[in-house]
Amino acid sequence: MVRIFQEKDFILKSNLEKNFKNYLIEKYSQEIAIKIERIYTLHNSIDISIMNQEEVEYWKEKLGAKLLPTGSLRIKKNKKLSDLSGFKEGKWWVQDISSSIPIKLIDNIRKMEVLDLFSAPGGKAMQLIALGANVTCIDSSSIRIKKLKENLNRMSMNADIFQTDFYDFKCKKKFDLVLIDVPCSSTGTIRKNKEIQYLDPFKRLKNLLKIQEDSLNVAKNFVKDKGYILYCNCSLFSSEGEDKIRNFIKENSNWKFEKFVKENKDIEKEWIDKFGFLRLRPDHLYNEGGMDGFFAALLKKIN
């Protein structure tokens, strides 16, 4: 059996920044904050998504990986990725389990026309293409667009790619689904970015909240009738997640919030909250080494 971590892997003494920890206690609970405080020092693994899910057992054996509940594989971070079997051949890509879950909650992606508004480096775009969607990718960063193109080339995947600010994107076409994987405080990624809690995440929120609100208002113009917006980010803050969605629904009567259902076979019940939001935390899958915090909500255009 593959062991993902041992006691000695906790290399740092856990010590979350005071205001950040207080927020976690208030929003989640003392017990959850303590678990997050402990698990955040640990990040000795990388998750990958397999191009052809039928080959997952093969790649699990080949890479000595651990199979996670939703079909991602977790590998020890002790080798250069490009030296690992299947990387250059485009058999898998790097993607934390949590960021792969929102798309796994959407039905019938095959043949969907999808607009991916914040696309690079392309984890979710690759997931959508692997499931048979036609994807239009947008990102404002030239460096990150280059990375997106490298990833798609390596995976032998095609997409329409535009380097542009989402505010400036013009297109007559309407889409079945607009994915908004929006810039955020990234507080869910503290296992990878341990410094994030010290960079005044609360002060940085003002600009981010504006982009998040605007992205929903831009996205709605590109959705077909009865189409969807999938809104997500790697923040642990409600202001960037639940609050944004509730405000949007309040201000847009032709949109409704579609709950994610707990009955989905691979999803642990506590990952979906009582309102139907996906609310993943760093302490989820604690015994496997945790996961990134992630939020997702699905919105449907009703006329």
Ligand X SMILES: C[S@@+](CC[C@H](N)C(=O)[O-])C[C@H]1O[C@@H](n2cnc3c(N)ncnc32)[C@H](O)[C@@H]1O
At 254, list the tokens. Answer: 């032709």
Smaller CB separation from ligand X, 119 or 185? 119
* In the complex, least distance from residue 240 CB atom to ligand X, rounded to whole angstroms: 12
* In the complex, least distance from residue 121 CB atom to ligand X, rounded to whole angstroms: 5
Is residue 93 at the binding interface for ligand X, with CB under 6 A as the rule? no
At 268, list the tokens. Answer: 């642990």
SS3 175: strand
By rule CB under 6 A, what count of residues binds ligand X? 16
Contact 121, 147 (CB under 8 A): yes
* In the complex, least distance from residue 165 CB atom to ligand X, rounded to whole angstroms: 4
Interactions with ligand X, residue window 157-196 (CB under 6 A): 165-166, 181, 183
DSSP strand pairing (134-139 vs 160-163): parallel
Contact 19, 202 (CB under 8 A): yes
* In the complex, least distance from residue 123 CB atom to ligand X, rounded to whole angstroms: 3
* Contact residue for ligand X among 24, 46, 65, 120 (CB under 6 A): 120
Smaller CB separation from ligand X, 45 or 119? 119
Contact 129, 157 (CB under 8 A): yes
Q: Using CA atoms, how far apart are residues 55 and 57, in angstroms rounded to an integer?
A: 6
Interactions with ligand X, residue window 243-302 (CB under 6 A): none
DSSP strand pairing (223-233 vs 175-181): parallel
Q: How many helices (H) and strands (E) does the chain have?
A: 8, 12
* Contact residue for ligand X among 27, 62, 144, 259 (CB under 6 A): 144
Smaller CB separation from ligand X, 123 or 290? 123
Smaller CB separation from ligand X, 4 or 162? 162
CA distances from 24 to 17, 39, 188, 229, 233 (A): 11, 14, 11, 28, 17
Is residue 140 at the binding interface for ligand X, with CB under 6 A as the rule? yes
Smaller CB separation from ligand X, 188 or 290? 188
Smaller CB separation from ligand X, 4 or 103? 103
From the list 90, 82, 95, 89, the residue with the least C-alpha distance to 125 is 95
Smaller CB separation from ligand X, 4 or 211? 211
Is residue 119 at the binding interface for ligand X, with CB under 6 A as the rule? yes
* In the complex, least distance from residue 200 CB atom to ligand X, rounded to whole angstroms: 19
Burial class (CB in 10 A: 0-12, 13-18, 19+), 221: exposed
Interface with ligand X by CB under 6 A: which range of 12-20, 83-91, 112-120, 285-293? Answer: 112-120
Cα angle 70-73-76, degrees, rounded to a multiple of 5: 145
Q: Using CA atoms, how far apart are residues 105 and 272, in angstroms rounded to an integer?
A: 11
Contact 219, 229 (CB under 8 A): yes
* In the complex, least distance from residue 169 CB atom to ligand X, rounded to whole angstroms: 8
Is residue 49 at the binding interface for ligand X, with CB under 6 A as the rule? no
Interface residues toward ligand X, by CB under 6 A: 118-124, 138-141, 144, 165-166, 181, 183
